């Protein structure tokens, strides 16, 4: 959420920066409502000041015996009139403030000053690539075909149990998924992240805090009987562990990693990636979440990306790092890097991680602040997160990049101790 004071003091600059996203965000309405609220606040403040003056005046007159014969009753009548006026003003003020809040909730984050300017994904920038020497053999099978051929993956039975965009993993396929999760968690724990196992169902306030609500409600699964939603990512419950809290500055930075299933309707992806593990309604992911001091925000973002890259390099999966331009940024991100893994069957890179710096956008929504011991007030922390990694997409990349000439899939060296075997 953006700071209304920032919109008020720099409306033209903020509008210009929002325009870089390529949308049609118009601040006119919210600025007009803010002006109305400030006028109401001024009027209420004057009335309260007059009421206080009358109270003091009546007190002095009664103490002195009212020697000058001032009409005390008239003063009391005026005080009552002011009281009624204030009572009438407050509901109007409350309604307009809520309108402002609702409008703020659907305004995206400001692009960071270092985010490259561009209209869409075609203008994203490749920062670096790694592992071209590990790209798989030509004429290999797509991951879903080799998975079914090896008997480790079944889509038809998953559809029977649920619907399309679900998969059942069997035998070594289930073991490979479990091995990937364990390897990722162990690695991140060794790199300084505290593991968290959060709830998989969250309330609306949690989704509001991280920015999924109200804008992306149609992409989430909601429980009809309760104010609970299936999580789209571990980012939601882990970030909201600190909602409405003031963290001691000395405890920053806080690093968490979490494995969870994730649930998404994929409402805007009709007809895309209908086969395989790329776009499922239920998938597993290991997420990294950071709470950091604003002064370390940029450096912490770079190290977050490096932590996600470390997994890909350990697995020897070819990938590239893409810096998203302003026109392709996610709703809450100020700056974002995507990691894209090479899928030989498609002859292209596909996103496997998105590492975002939200600055104070999420913490302002979720009211997560920090305070130093000698500091008078509090500040909003900066939040960052990234997948490290999306497990299903990692499995897809392994199944394709590790096929050999005999039609087997070689298990990456770092996973063999978890699997107790060399091949699928």
Q: Which of 81, 105, 129 is the last residue of a domain?
A: 105
Q: Return the number of other C-beta atoms located less than 10 Å from residue 98's C-beta.
A: 10
Q: What integer pLDDT is reported at residue 59 of this predicted model? A: 85
User: How much is the pLDDT for 23?
Assistant: 83
Instruction: Answer yes or no: do 347 and 217 share one domain.
Output: yes
pLDDT of residue 357: 98
Catalytic pick among 93, 148, 351, 379: 351
Return the pLDDT at 278.
94
Report how far residue 117's alpha carbon sits from residue 85's, in angstroms, rounded to the nearest whole number. Answer: 50
Q: Which of 206, 297, 354, 356 is catalytic?
A: 354
Which of 21, 165, 264, 369 is catalytic? The answer is 264
> Does some domain include residue 424?
no
Task: Please give the tally of structural domains in the chain.
Answer: 2
- Within this chain, do residues 28 and 148 fall inside the same structural domain, yes or no? no
Low-confidence ranges of the chain (pLDDT < 70): 67, 69, 267-271
Is 178 assigned a catalytic role? no
In which domain, by residue range, is 84 found? 4-105
- Verify that 363 and 250 share a domain, yes or no: yes
Span 266-300, pLDDT tens digits: 866 666 777 899 999 999 999 999 999 999 999 99
Q: Is 128 a catalytic residue?
A: no
Look at residue 113 and tell me if it is in a domain: no
Q: So what's the pLDDT on residue 221? A: 96
18, part of any domain: yes
Residues 79, 128: one domain? no
Report the CATH number at residue 72: 1.10.287.40
Three-state DSSP at 171 gives coil
Distances (CA, A) of 275 to 143, 148, 216: 10, 12, 24
On whether residue 344 sits in a domain, the answer given is yes
pLDDT of residue 423: 95
**Residue at a domain's end among 56, 78, 105:** 105
Q: 158 with 239, same domain?
A: yes
174 and 60 co-located in one domain:
no
Look at the chain and count its residues.
Answer: 424
279 assigned to active site: yes
* Integer Cα distance of 105 and 66 in angstroms: 55
Q: Are 36 and 145 part of one and the same domain? A: no
Catalytic residue among 165, 364, 393, 400: 393
Determine the pLDDT at residue 337.
98
Our answer to whether residue 351 is catalytic in this structure is yes
Same domain, 311 and 166: yes
Identify the active-site residue in 279, 320, 350, 408. 279
Structure confidence at residue 186 (pLDDT): 98
Q: Same domain, yes or no, for 274 and 305? A: yes
Same domain, 64 and 129: no
Contact 357, 279 (CB under 8 A): no
Give yes or no: 9 in active site: no
How confident is the model at residue 356, as a pLDDT? 98
SS (H, E, C) 217-252: HHHCCECCCCCCEECCCCHHHHHHCCCCEEEEHHHC
Retrieve residue 176's tokens: 């490979």
| Domain match, 369 and 224 both | yes
Q: Do 127 and 93 have their domain in common? A: no
Tens of pLDDT, residues 363-387: 999 999 999 988 889 999 999 999 9
Residue 398 is part of a domain; what is its CATH number?
A: 3.30.930.10
Classify residue 114: in a domain, yes or no: no
Asked, for residue 112, whether it belongs to a domain, the answer is no
Examine the fold and report which residue of 105, 129, 145 is the final residue of a domain before the chain moves on.
105
pLDDT at residue number 165: 92
**Packed helices 28-64 and 72-105: angle between N→C axes, nearest 10 degrees:** 160
In this predicted structure, what is the pLDDT of residue 405? 87
């Amino acid at each position: 959420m953006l700071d209304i004071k920032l919109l008020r003091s720099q409306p033209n600059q903020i509008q210009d920066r929002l325009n870089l996203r390529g949308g049609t965000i118009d601040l006119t309405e919210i600025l007009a409502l803010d002006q109305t609220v400030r006028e109401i606040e001024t009027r209420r403040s004057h009335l309260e000041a007059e009421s206080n003056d009358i109270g003091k005046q009546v007190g002095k007159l009664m103490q002195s015996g009212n020697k000058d014969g001032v009409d005390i009753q008239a003063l009391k009548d005026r005080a009552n009139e002011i009281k009624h006026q204030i009572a009438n003003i407050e509901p109007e003020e409350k309604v307009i403030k809520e309108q402002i809040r609702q409008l703020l909730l659907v305004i995206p984050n400001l692009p960071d000053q270092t985010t490259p300017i561009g209209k869409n994904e075609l203008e994203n920038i490749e920062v670096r690539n790694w592992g071209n020497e590990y790209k798989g053999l030509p004429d290999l099978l797509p991951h879903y075909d080799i998975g079914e051929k090896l008997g480790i993956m079944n889509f038809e039975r998953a559809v029977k149990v649920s619907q399309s965009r679900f998969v059942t993993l069997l035998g070594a396929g289930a073991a490979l998924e479990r091995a990937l999760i364990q390897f990722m968690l162990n690695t991140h724990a060794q790199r300084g992240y505290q593991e968290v196992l959060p709830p998989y169902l969250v309330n609306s306030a949690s989704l509001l805090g991280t920015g999924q609500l109200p804008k992306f409600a149609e992409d989430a699964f909601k429980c009809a009987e309760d104010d609970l939603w299936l999580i789209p990512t571990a980012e939601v419950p882990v970030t909201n562990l600190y909602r409405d809290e003031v963290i001691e500055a000395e405890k920053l930075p806080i690093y968490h990693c979490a494995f969870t299933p994730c649930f998404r309707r994929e409402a805007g992806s009709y007809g895309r990636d209908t086969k395989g593990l790329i776009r499922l309604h239920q998938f597993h992911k290991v997420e990294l979440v950071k709470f950091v001091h604003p002064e370390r925000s940029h450096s912490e973002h770079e190290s977050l990306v490096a932590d996600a890259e470390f997994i890909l390099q350990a697995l020897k999966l070819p990938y590239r790092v893409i810096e998203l331009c302003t026109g392709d940024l996610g709703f809450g991100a100020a700056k974002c890097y995507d990691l894209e893994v090479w899928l030989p069957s498609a002859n292209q890179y596909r996103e496997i991680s998105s590492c975002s710096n939200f600055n104070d956008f999420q913490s302002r929504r979720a009211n997560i602040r920090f305070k130093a011991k000698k500091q008078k007030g509090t500040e909003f922390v900066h939040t960052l997160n990234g997948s490290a990694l999306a497990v299903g997409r990692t499995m897809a990349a392994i199944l394709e990049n590790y096929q050999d000439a005999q039609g087997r899939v070689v298990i990456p060296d770092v996973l063999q101790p978890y699997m107790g075997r060399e091949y699928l």
